Structure formats: C-alpha cells, structure tokens
Amino acid sequence: MAEEMRIVLRNYGKIDPLNIDEYIAAGGYGALNKARGMSPMDLIGEVKASNLRGRGGAGFNCGMKWNFACQAPADQKYVICNADEGEPGTYKDRLIMEGDPQSLLEGMAICAYAIGATQGYIYCRGEYPSVVKTLNAAIAQAKEKGVLGDFSIEVRMGAGAYVCGEETALIESIEGKRGEPRIKPPFPPVIGLWYKPTIVNNVETFANIPAIVEKGAAWYAGIGTPTYPGTKIVTLTGDVVNKTFFEVTTDTTIQEVIFGFGGGISGGKAFKAVQIGGTSGAFIPAAHLDTPIGFDAMSSIGASLGSGAVFVLDESRDIVDVTARIARFFAHESCGKCAPCREGTMRMHDLMDKINAGQGQTADIALLNKLGRVMSYSCLCGLGQAAPAPVLTAIEHFSADYDAKLA
Amino acid sequence: MINVTIDGIKASVPDGSTILQAAKDVGISIPSLCYHPDQSVKANCRVCVCEVEGNRLLQAACSQPVYEGMVIKTRTPKVIEARKTILELILSHHPQDCLNCIRNENCELQSLAAEYFVRSNPFELKVRGLPKDLSTPSLFRDPDKCVLCRRCIEACTVVQTVNALGLEGRGSHAMVVPSLGLDLIDSPCIMCGQCIHACPVGAIGEVEDIDKLLAAIADPETIVVTQIAPAVRLALSEEIGMDTGALPMEVFVAGLKQIGFDHVLHTNFTADLTILEEGNELLKRLTSGGTLPMFTSCSPGWINFCETFYPDLLDNLSTCKSPQQMFGSLVKTYWADKMGIAPKNIFSVSIMPCVAKKYEAARPEMTASGYRDVDIVLTTREIGRLFRMSGLDFTKLPPQPFSPWMGEYTGAAVIFGATGGVMEAALRTVYEVVMEETLEDVNFTIARGFEGIKEAAVDLKGTVVKVAIAHGLSHARKLMDQVRAGESPYHFIEIMACPGGCVGGGGQPITKANFKRIERLDAIYIEDEAMPIRKSHENAEVKKIYEDFLHEPLGHKSHELLHTHYHAKHKRFL
C-alpha cells in the first residue's frame, strides 16, 4: 500500500500549535524570508511553475491567479483565506488551522508579498469558534515576533451559510452584505473585496506555499499526478473502517483511498458507491474505483475531487434516500439570488421526496434529468451548477434503485 | 471595436459591449426578465443565457462582456431548453391569475411565457400564499407574484435612496419585504411608486379607485368634477394606443364627459395659482429674512421624503399646498359658489400621474373646504383603463371645452409636469414682478433636461437669486445634505420625487426606461410653445379669483385654503 505524504500536515501533531517558537524551530518562516529575497515576479513564477492548483474545489492554477492580482494596479490589495469549510464530511482545513496555524499565516504572508497586499482576512466557518481562538492566538504571536512585517491578518467569522464558501459570496459577507455570489467576470483578483484586487485561496492551498517556496517548484511539480501535483488531504466518512484523514499524493486511486488507507468497507459488507468532494460531488460506482483522485482524472469520469471528502456507502444503503437528503440540503442552502437555483433546488427536493416516498413516476425521473442538466449550466454560481451532480449521477449509475421506488 | 460572431453573423461591436448589446446591434433580440436598461446588471433570472463556443456553461447575455473572436449562439436547442425550463420554474411558483392581474397584457413574464409557448408546465403549481400588503392608500404589494428580479429594490434604494424595500430569507423562501419586516405604511416608503415602474410583473401596483368613481357617476345627486394634472394628457396617449402627446386636450375632455364626468377642470389652473402664491412667498422670504433656501412643495412623494428623512428642514418647504390640493379646497368653496352647486354634492376627482397623490388627498389636514377636498385620485393608468372600457375612438370624438372658472391655464402651468418646470414657471413670473418689465424670451432652457441636478443664477435688480433643481430623490438628497450642513448656496430649490418629474410619475403608463420619460419631456415643451399665454400671472381666471375671492397672494383666504403645514414622520429606517 502507498504511504501517506505529509506536506501541508508536515507539523501536525509534532509541534505545539500555540507556540510559534516550535514552528520556527521546525523551519517555519524560513520560506517567507526566502520569498522576500525574491522579486514578486520570480516568486509568482515559482508558484506558477509548481503547478499548484487551488485546493478549494475549482482547481485553478494558483500562480496564475496571483499574477492577475499582482498585475492589477491598485492602492490596496487583499489576501483572503477561505476557511469557511462548509462541505459536509470535510474537516481538512480545521486540521491545518488547529494543528499548524502558523503555516497558514506564512502562506498568506508570502502571497501578500507576491501581490503587494498589506491586509489579509481569514474567513472562518461560524461553527469553528475554537479554531478562531487558535487563529487569533497564532496571529498575536506572529505579530509579537514581527515575522509578518507590515502584513496584518484579521479573522472574520461566517454565520453558517454554505454559499459563503463561494469566493465572491464570501467577499460580500466580509463586506457586511447578504452572502450571495457576485457576477463573474470581473473575478476577485481584478475586482474583489471592497472592489480591490483580492486573492481568495483555500486554507490547504496556502499551507502548501511555504513548502513550495522552501523546496522549489520542481520538487513540488514532481509529486503525484503532473496536471494536479502535490498531495491532498482526504477525510473519510460513511461505511469505511478507518473514518479518519490522510494526506496522499494526487496519483493515489480511489480504490487505494478506500480499501488501502480506509481499510475497506466496515461490517464486512460490499461497496456500493462513494461520493467525493462534498455534498455536491458525483456518486461514483465500483467501475471507476481505479481512477486517481487528481483533478483532471476525476473530471474525466464526471466527478470532482472538490474538498477531498470521501463519503462511502455500503451495499445496504438506500441511495435514493441519501440523494433526497442531499437535495433537501441544497434547497435549504440556495441563497435565492438566481432563478434556476432558487426554484430548481426546491423542485429537485420535491421530486426526490416524491420518488423516495414511493410516489414517483418515470416522468419525474426524466424531469429531474432535464432540471439537473439545465441547472448545471445555467445557474449563477458553483452552488447551483454543482447541486444536481449527486442527483444526476445517482440516476445514471443506480437507475435500478430509482425504478424500484417508482409507484 | 471587438469582432464577434453571433448566430453566424459577423459583427464589430464597441468595446465593453455585453452579449445582449452586441446581439441587439446585429438585430437579434435576446429575452430577459431581470434586465432593466437604466439599472445595474443583475443576471439573476438567467433567462438571457446563451452559448459561447468553448464554454460548457451558458453565459448570461446581460452580464457577459464580449471578447475578440467570441462565437455566440443565442438559440441552440441547449439554450432554448434552458430558457424554457427556467421560465417554467418561475411560472410554477407564480399565481396563474393573469386575467385578474393589474398587469395583464403588460407583464414581462406573461410575454416571455407566450414567446416560449409554455403550454403545460411540468412543475406542479406552488403558490406561497403570502398576504397582500394593502396598508397604504397608494400602492399594494402582492408578494406571491414577485419573481425576485430585485428591480424594485434598486429603484427604491439607488434611484430614490429611500431603502424601504429589502430582501429576507434564502432559497425559495427569499422575499422582497419592506425594511424591518414592517407593513409598507410603517416603513419609510414615500409612496412615489417608482417600484411599480421597475416591477416586471404585478407584484406591486397602484391601489385602484375606479369603482368609487363609477359609484359617484351612478348617483344622480352627485356632481362629479375632475381636475387633470399637467403630465397626464401626453402620457395617457400611450395608454390608448397613440403616440406620446398625440391626444388633443379637448378630446381628452370629451372622453371624460362621455364617461360621465359632469365638469372637467384643470389642475393647471391651480398650477398657475401656485406660481402666484409660491413666487410671492419666495420674494417675501428673500426680503424679510425668511428660511432659505425655499423648497417647492408640489410633489407629494418629495413631501413624504422630507418629512421622513429631513424633518429638521420642514421650515424650508414652501407652505403652498400642491396644485391638486389647492384645487381641492377651491372647488368646494369658490367654484361651488360660482356655479351655485352645494359643496356637499360635489365629488372631487383628481387625475394624476402619481400614486403619492392618493396618500396626499387622504391627509387629515386636507379638509380646508369643510369636506375632504379631493375625494379620489385616479392615476393616468386608471384613466387609461376607463377609456379602454369606454369603447371610444378618440380619433372620431368631437372636442369639448373645459367648464368655467377653473379650467384656464398657461404654458407655465403645462411645464409643471417636467423637472425644472415649476422653477421655470416661477422665474417667468418673479422676473416680471421684480423687474417690472416684460420678459421677452420666456424660455429658461437652463431649467430643462434630464440631468439629475441643474442650477442657475438669475439677476433680479442686482440681487442674484441662485436656484437648483433635482429630480429623483438620490439627487435631491445631495442638495438636502448641503442645506443640512449649512453649505447650500441656493435661495430656491425645486424637487420632484420622480425621475423626469411628473412625466415619470408612479401613476404614469408603465415606463421601463428613461428614454420614454425624455420623450414625454419633449412633448411638454411642445405644448408650452403652442400656448398663447405662457406666464402664470397673465391667466385671466387666476386674475379673476384674486379679484373676486382671494384678494391677494398670501392673504387671509389664501392662508386658509391654499397653504398647509408639515409634520415630521417619526419612522424607523435603515
């Protein structure tokens, strides 16, 4: 079996997260010093060459994103860390923030230097009050040590809306407005927080940065799968023996994650499906288990790596029932801004409930397919575009389960 | 210029164009619902989605800028399926009572449903069953019909800076609500009705008083008398299928007589009278150290705004009642006496481009005649409905004159319907009164046009009088903040609540875009040019009322009947 490779969790469990001296003793802030010795363009070039892609779900090249913000002329720019970890079954960002908060701050400070920002925000999930305490303590220590220079970081708490994990909704929320996505373009690196160029990266993305700066782009680009190099923290939930987390290289297959690291299906039952990347992830049947978890490999089977949540279902699970609950989740979390998501998530939930209650017709499945298809390419933001994925893939791969429930 | 291909048509379009604009340039109309030409892009209805080559996602035409080499397809099967499905989703969450709806046949959603031939909706009809807000005498809200386009919110918050409307709830529970969850009457709403123009459907509309009129007409004891506001005629033409301004005034009068009005008079008469009263009030304030700058007081939405947001500046408001209310108190006193009609038998109807006028008429202080001065107010749209019901062909109707004593008016009164009109009318009179010489060119063009704030300075015998004009309350707010800060350079400020002034009033034919307001402004100045008399103080009937009844501007009778006072509205607002 493949071994874990810990880059973002390099200090996890090894140092006292509330003692910055231990982080520095483990080599912390060496990367920031090194970065400050480089020109911003060289630094961005290095990040670009590492081919690090965002760990939040969209998988955009991190260095390219920074370059947009760097090039955008402005008197003020911002660095935001997206720590609104709202995907059910995902807790990777919490691990980093609890176990090694300074690595996140260092990553943000490197980004700030690269794009020319002096103010940063960490937008932390409202359900993580203890993490906020840890972060504030870490920021205070970093300030006292003077390691951040003129870069200030402030923690802002979310209020529980799932959509605020979407970067522009997150920006609106920091601005004190209703958490709703903005129209794109313009993208945040050009017009972001308070209409200034802004980088929004996920916690895991930032935590990769110090290692890349320290060890070089070539080192990083050589790890895992070439188009999506590095590692990914996966968090295992559901009917799997080891319900825990692992940091694995991106060429690891789903099979290895579940049956290797995960120890297989609990209770000696057979595998039925796995949903990867969070609630909006596709359901993946056994036939695709040999797919590597890297971004593009997952896209090729109509799935996504997303947040790295791995939700395993055994043969006894009622996938129609599970999907109906997911549909309820999205009807509840739609912000209501765009019509296809506002109305569509509600209808999807209604139709799933109807089918789940044994009252569905064949026409309802056809309608679900049409609705899901339209939502996936018409909705304003990623929430509405991704919400139909579990419904559509469950119908695609487990149609017999649906047929069995029709009236 | 940027080169694009739209549905196979190659075109060069200006930089910064959206797909919607580029398509329009090549003659392709893309359907939309939340798009409003005078507002910010919202892109929330997604009805305008199009295919862009190389992009899996459909792009909203209203928001997506074009780029060099972009290949756009506006009506592929994928696009049509998406648009139709989105319409089905919206429609299945919307009451299906078009026949009873105030916006029947004038509804953007209804038009789209027809264009995309939505016959049987696959989604089950689900109506929320939310209560209607019938708390104001001016507007109602029917939240079940709301399609969440948010155009009303922008009209209220950006155009008018009133912030009476906001959003509450998420997902399919999201709703537009008056701020703080209050009823409209308790919210800071100033009843200007600009939200009605913004609404694509029937979620907001005017409170209709047509049945009250029909009941009064049916009663043989009742003498139904009406006044017509300056901006009504030219816009009413649009309601009856004519070009803006095409309906001749005397044919309008004839139409009203056909419907059963006993006497048709004109608010323009009291507009001229207002100039005499307000002009003299200004001169008095200028010479005797009164509160300056003086604000005009004819726009009831503006009065509500001032009472709500600037209660500390109420002394700056002219004490003149609006022309509607001056008319109301005179018709049941002076006119009743002249005509030998018992005031109790008079049913006083006013025809207005305005919904705030309904609220104004119902103010408890508006009973100077001993009765309710104005019994009902009908909007231009309501008269349009009456005229359509009447079956009249206005191209064949012989003209009819106004009834005597309060039907004569000048060009100065006509322009009251335009932003800057009250100012221009006042200047025509004040100039002649102060300079004691004839004003040869009566056109103060500096007061005209659609700019948000206009200003001018007039030299009156060595005293330079500085004036300013604002329309739309976001502009008014700038002038008010200056006054509040003690930094206003002006002596006289004209404010109209609605963009364009009364031509863009909340009771006018649904006006989707400002270009329509500008068209109506043009029609007003054409009418003014054509008038034989263009100065208020030369109105013979106005001279007569001073001789016979009022005796002098700002006199005892005027004070009793034509002037009023204002009250701070202690409202909670955001």
Residue B93 pLDDT exceeds 70: yes
H helical segments located in A216-318: 217-221, 254-255, 295-300
pLDDT at B456: 92
Tell whether A331 is within 8 A of chain B (Cβ): yes
Do A101 and A17 contact (CB within 8 A), yes or no? yes
- Give the Cα separation of B466 and B449 in Å (integer): 18
**Contact residues, chain A, for B58 at CB < 8 Å:** 377-378
Q: B457: part of which helix (H) or strand (E)?
A: strand B453-460
- Give the Cα separation of B190 and B307 in Å (integer): 9
Residue B462 pLDDT exceeds 90: no
CB contact under 8 A, A335 and B174: yes
Our CA-based measurement puts residue A355 at a distance from the nearest CA of chain B, in whole angstroms, of 14
**Contact residues, chain A, for B18 at CB < 8 Å:** none
Do A188 and A199 contact (CB within 8 A), yes or no? yes
Q: How many other β-carbons are positioned within 10 Å of the β-carbon of residue A68?
A: 16
Residue A2 pLDDT exceeds 80: no
Share of chain B above pLDDT 90, in %: 88
Tell whether A363 is within 8 A of chain B (Cβ): yes
- Give the Cα separation of A8 and A342 in Å (integer): 37
pLDDT at B433: 85
Mean pLDDT over all residues of chain B? 95
Domain B211-561 has CATH 3.40.950.10: yes
Q: Do the domains spanning B2-91 and B211-561 agree at the CATH topology level?
A: no
Q: Of A248, A258, A214, which is closest to residue A228 (Cα–Cα)?
A: A248
Instruction: Count Cα atoms within 13 angstroms, Cβ side, for A395.
Output: 22
Fold topology of B128-206 = Alpha-Beta Plaits (3.30.70)
**Contact residues, chain A, for B124 at CB < 8 Å:** 350
Do A126 and A38 contact (CB within 8 A), yes or no? no
Q: How many other β-carbons are positioned within 10 Å of the β-carbon of residue B40?
A: 12
Residue B51 pLDDT exceeds 70: yes
Q: How many other β-carbons are positioned within 10 Å of the β-carbon of residue A301?
A: 15
Residue of B nearest to A328 (CA): B171
User: Would you give the distance in Å from CA A147 to the centre of its chain?
Assistant: 28
The reply to whether B318 belongs to the active site is yes
pLDDT-wise least confident of B131-135, B173-177, B302-306, B519-523: B519-523
- Give the Cα separation of B439 and B537 in Å (integer): 12
Our CA-based measurement puts residue B77 at a distance from the nearest CA of chain A, in whole angstroms, of 12
Residue B438 sits at φ, ψ, to 5 deg, of: -80, 130
**Burial of B53 per CB tally in 10 Å (0-12, 13-18, 19+):** exposed
Q: Which pLDDT band holds residue B159 (cuts at 50, 70, 90)?
A: very high
Tell me the pLDDT tens digit for each residue of B212-248.
999 999 999 999 999 999 999 999 999 999 999 999 9
B337-352 average pLDDT score: 96
pLDDT at B47: 98
B323: its two tokens: 């022309």
Number of helices (H) and strands (E), helices first, in chain A? 18, 11
pLDDT at A1: 56
Q: Of B301, B128, B142, B131, which is closest to residue B207 (Cα–Cα)?
A: B142
Q: Which pLDDT band holds residue A56 (cuts at 50, 70, 90)?
A: confident
CB contact under 8 A, B148 and A336: yes
Task: List beta partners, residue A393.
Answer: none
Angle between helices B323-330 and B267-288 in degrees, nearest 10:
110
Q: Which of B156, B189, B195, B298 is labelled catalytic?
A: B298
Our CA-based measurement puts residue B456 at a distance from the nearest CA of chain A, in whole angstroms, of 36
Residue B431 pLDDT exceeds 90: no
Which one is predicted more confidently, B224 or B435? B224
Q: Helix, strand, coil proportions of chain A in percent (round to 5)? A: 50, 15, 35
B36: its two tokens: 């409003």
**Contact residues, chain A, for B41 at CB < 8 Å:** 183
CB contact under 8 A, A343 and B93: yes
pLDDT at B572: 83
Q: Which pLDDT band holds residue B460 (cuts at 50, 70, 90)?
A: confident
- Give the Cα separation of A220 and B491 in Å (integer): 72
Q: Helix, strand, coil proportions of chain B in percent (round to 5)? A: 40, 15, 45
Do A121 and A174 contact (CB within 8 A), yes or no? yes
Q: How many other β-carbons are positioned within 10 Å of the β-carbon of residue B221?
A: 9
Tell whether A160 is within 8 A of chain B (Cβ): no
| Beta pairing, strands A309-314 & B2-6 | unpaired
Residue B562 pLDDT exceeds 60: yes
User: Would you give the distance in Å from CA A1 to the centre of its chain?
Assistant: 26
- Judged by DSSP in three states, B125 sits in coil
**Burial of B443 per CB tally in 10 Å (0-12, 13-18, 19+):** middle
Tell me the pLDDT tens digit for each residue of B402-421.
999 998 899 999 999 999 99
pLDDT at B473: 97
Tell me the pLDDT tens digit for each residue of B520-531.
999 999 999 999
Do B533 and B290 contact (CB within 8 A), yes or no? no
Angle between helices A319-333 and A388-397 in degrees, nearest 10:
160
Our CA-based measurement puts residue B79 at a distance from the nearest CA of chain A, in whole angstroms, of 9
Q: What is the amino acid identity at position B293? A: P
Tell me the pLDDT tens digit for each residue of A314-335.
999 999 999 999 999 999 999 9
Domain segments of chain B: what residues? 2-91, 128-206, 211-561
Share of chain A above pLDDT 90, in %: 97
CB contact under 8 A, B46 and A178: no
A101-124 average pLDDT score: 98
- Give the Cα separation of A101 and A128 in Å (integer): 14
H helical segments located in A237-338: 254-255, 295-300, 319-333
Our CA-based measurement puts residue B533 at a distance from the nearest CA of chain A, in whole angstroms, of 54
B306: its two tokens: 């001032």
Q: What is the amino acid identity at position B222? A: T
Q: Of A165, A167, A157, A154, which is closest to residue A65 (Cα–Cα)?
A: A167
**Contact residues, chain A, for B78 at CB < 8 Å:** 377
Angle between helices B77-91 and B108-115 in degrees, nearest 10:
140
Domains and CATH numbers, chain A: 20-221 (3.40.50.11540), 225-314 (3.10.20.600), 319-405 (1.20.1440.230)
Q: Of B225, B181, B484, which is closest to residue B331 (Cα–Cα)?
A: B225
- Give the Cα separation of B301 and B314 in Å (integer): 14
A112: its two tokens: 């700030």
Share of chain A above pLDDT 70, in %: 100
DSSP A187: P
The reply to whether B189 belongs to the active site is no
Tell whether A279 is within 8 A of chain B (Cβ): no
Do B30 and B47 contact (CB within 8 A), yes or no? no
- Judged by DSSP in three states, A28 sits in coil
The contacts of residue B259 (CB under 8 Å, 6+ apart) are B217, B386, B387, B390
The reply to whether B101 belongs to the active site is no
C-alpha separations of B329 from B161, B262, B422, B541 in Å: 32, 18, 21, 16
- Judged by DSSP in three states, A300 sits in helix
Letter string b/e over residues B77-116, b meaning 16 or more CB atoms within 10 A of that residue's CB: ebbeebbbbbbbbbbbbbbeebeebbbeebbbbbebbeeb
DSSP for A365-383, please give it: HHHHHHHHHHHHHHSSSHH
Q: B3: part of which helix (H) or strand (E)?
A: strand B2-6
Residue B56 pLDDT exceeds 90: yes
Cα dihedral sign, A96-A98-A102-A105: positive
B478: its two tokens: 């700038």
Tell me the pLDDT tens digit for each residue of B36-48.
999 999 999 999 9
Q: Which pLDDT band holds residue B322 (cuts at 50, 70, 90)?
A: very high
- Give the Cα separation of B214 and B216 in Å (integer): 5
Q: Which pLDDT band holds residue B440 (cuts at 50, 70, 90)?
A: confident
DSSP B158: I
Q: Which of B357, B454, B516, B535 is labelled catalytic?
A: B357
Do A218 and A100 contact (CB within 8 A), yes or no? no
Whether the bond into B37 is cis, omega within 30 of 0: no
The label of the residue with tokens 């099979």 reads A255
Letter string b/e over residues B387-409, b meaning 16 or more CB atoms within 10 A of that residue's CB: beebebebeebeebebbebbbbb
CB contact under 8 A, B172 and A334: yes
CATH class of B2-91: alpha beta
B439-453 average pLDDT score: 90
pLDDT at A3: 86
A51: its two tokens: 């081919």
Q: What is the amino acid identity at position B197? A: H
